[in-house]
Amino acid sequence: MQARKIALLLSILPGLGQFYNKQWIKGLLFLGFGISFFVVFGDLLNMGFWGLATLGTEVPRDNSIFLLAEGLIAIIVTIFGLAFYYVNLRDAYKNGQRRDENRPMSSLKRDYQNLIAQGYPYLISGPSLFILIFAVIFPILFSFALAFTNYDLYHSPPANLADWVGFDTFAKIFTVDIWRSTFFSVLGWTVIWTLVASTLQVALGIFMAVLVNQKDLRFKKFYRTVLVLPWAVPGFVTILIFAGLFNDSFGAINNDILAMVGIDAIPWLTDENWTKLALILMQGWLGFPFIFLVTTGVLQSIPDDLYEAARIDGASIFAQFRNITMPMILIATAPVIITQYTFNFNNFNIIYLFNGGGPSVPGSTAGGTDILVSWIYKLTLQSSQYSLAAALTILLSVFVIAIALWQFRRTDAFKEGA
């Protein structure tokens, strides 16, 4: 048998293949790592996988949520273990191959130097990966896992156990009447909100940029500074200010502005449709300056020759705008514009800070202007319906990912990154 195969087979126990290759120190290191892996993580792996499978069997000894968390950490640890195992197998195989071909084995010193040279990118991106795994990936996996349990107020530790229920929660969203109607009304408003509010802010931003950028307009600097202000002031501050301005009984909009023109007070915060209108107007106010800034940058980079040539050909101002200005703007700002839509789809702050998603709708866990994100937030923090919230999170993530993928295919950003 060839040495590489023997070394590979022996390496099923980490280190043995290296011993066979007469690389004693390396073999000891691998063996040492292998043993300590099981010594350190043995309990965690054992508990973790058992817990993940059963979510606990006895109250109050077992805590389903702990067990689930431990199980997920066990999976992550296992993946790292497997990666290490793969390195071990590969090293034994590679060196066995060198023996077969009668080449000198790589010395420990060379291996070390190699590791330093090749390991550099791993070394500098390692911390990021570590943070990503524990601050982003683990919580997301945990949330997703909850969607397949029945974890809620009545199935929570320490008094009760939660259990795996498969796709029950998803099925319930579409079959239980009150859930289905709430889900679809929230989803509907989320989509309308995203489309209308984002389009308004984009259109307003582009329009203002074109307006200010007219060659013969004076006071450009003043207008630019003023128009950028809503972007410069922190968003949460402005939203809370607007909540005060729109207040039904004390707010300045009802009391000063509308009263001045003789319009009766409008129930901005208590009537669903008026709240929606207020939200969309506010988002227009908050969001257009950024588009304005980006578009202004684009406009200033369009060469004058283009317009010159068009004028000589007798194109009207309108034709110049339609055939030169607009395409230039849209091409350059398309990625920024799309992010406005995805941003608003998840724009929790404006919905929640303005009116808490209200006015409340009787018999429903979602308020009249709740979008999916704020509904999930309420389900989690206020009514402890964790599994429902988790299932909705998954549905929403699928939706967002689908749109993002579509966008990436269109902008070819992915191809470039590859």
Partner 1 sequence: MNRAKFFRLLISHAILIFMAIIIIYPLLWTIGASFNPGNSLISTTMIPQNPTLDHYRELFAGSESLQYVQWYLNSLKISLFTMIGAVICVSFTAYAFSRFRFKGRQNALTLFLLLQMIPQFSALIALFVLAQILGMMNSHWLLILLYIGGLIPLNTYLMKGYMDSIPMDLDESAKIDGASNTRIFLQIIMPLSKPMIAVVAMTGFTGPLGDFILASTILRSPEYYTLPIGLYNLVNDVMGASFTTFAAGAILISIPIAIIFLLLQKNFVSGLTAGGTKG
Chain positions 1 to 60 lying near partner 1, rule: CB under 8 A, are none
In the complex with partner 1, which residue's Cβ is closer, 135 or 259?
135
- Residue 349 buriedness (CB in 10 A; 0-12 / 13-18 / 19+): middle
At its nearest, how many Å lie between partner 1 and the CB of residue 245? 6
At its nearest, how many Å lie between partner 1 and the CB of residue 22? 27
Q: Are 380 and 386 in contact (CB under 8 A)?
A: yes
Q: Are 149 and 52 in contact (CB under 8 A)?
A: no
Single-letter amino acid code for the residue at 154: Y
User: Does 369 participate in binding partner 1 (rule CB under 8 A)?
Assistant: no
* Omega before 335 within 30 of 0, i.e. cis: no
At its nearest, how many Å lie between partner 1 and the CB of residue 415? 9
Query: Which 202-231 residues touch partner 1, going by CB under 8 A?
Result: 208, 211-212, 214, 216-217, 223, 225-231
User: Does 358 participate in binding partner 1 (rule CB under 8 A)?
Assistant: no
At its nearest, how many Å lie between partner 1 and the CB of residue 221? 12
At its nearest, how many Å lie between partner 1 and the CB of residue 342? 9
Q: Which of 2, 35, 3, 1 is nearest to 18 (CA)?
A: 3
- Cα distances (Å, whole numbers) of residue 154 to 7, 9, 18, 147, 347: 55, 51, 55, 15, 31
From 35, 53, 59, 132, residue interacting with partner 1 (rule: CB under 8 A): 132
In the complex with partner 1, which residue's Cβ is closer, 20 or 288?
288
Taking CB under 8 A as the rule, which mask of x and - marks residues 75-114 in contact with partner 1?
----------------------------------------
The two three-digit tokens of residue 129, written as one number: 């990966």
User: Does 252 participate in binding partner 1 (rule CB under 8 A)?
Assistant: yes
Q: In the chain, what is the straight-line distance between the N-terminal and C-terminal CA atoms, in Å?
A: 41
In degrees, rounded to 5, the angle at the alpha carbon of residue 23 between the alpha carbons of residues 38 and 119 is: 70
Please give the helix or strand (H or E) that residue 169 lies within, else none.
helix 168-175
Task: Tell me the window of 39-47, 130-138, 258-266, 320-328 that interacts with partner 1 (CB under 8 A).
Answer: 130-138
User: Does 64 participate in binding partner 1 (rule CB under 8 A)?
Assistant: no
From 134, 154, 174, 184, residue interacting with partner 1 (rule: CB under 8 A): 134
From 1, 39, 159, 232, residue interacting with partner 1 (rule: CB under 8 A): 232
From 59, 79, 108, 129, residue interacting with partner 1 (rule: CB under 8 A): 129
Q: Which of 99, 71, 81, 111 is nearest to 6 (CA)?
A: 99
At its nearest, how many Å lie between partner 1 and the CB of residue 227? 7
User: Does 139 participate in binding partner 1 (rule CB under 8 A)?
Assistant: yes
- Cα distances (Å, whole numbers) of residue 384 to 13, 36, 416: 47, 40, 44
In degrees, rounded to 5, the angle at the alpha carbon of residue 296 between the alpha carbons of residues 290 and 297 is: 95
At its nearest, how many Å lie between partner 1 and the CB of residue 335? 5
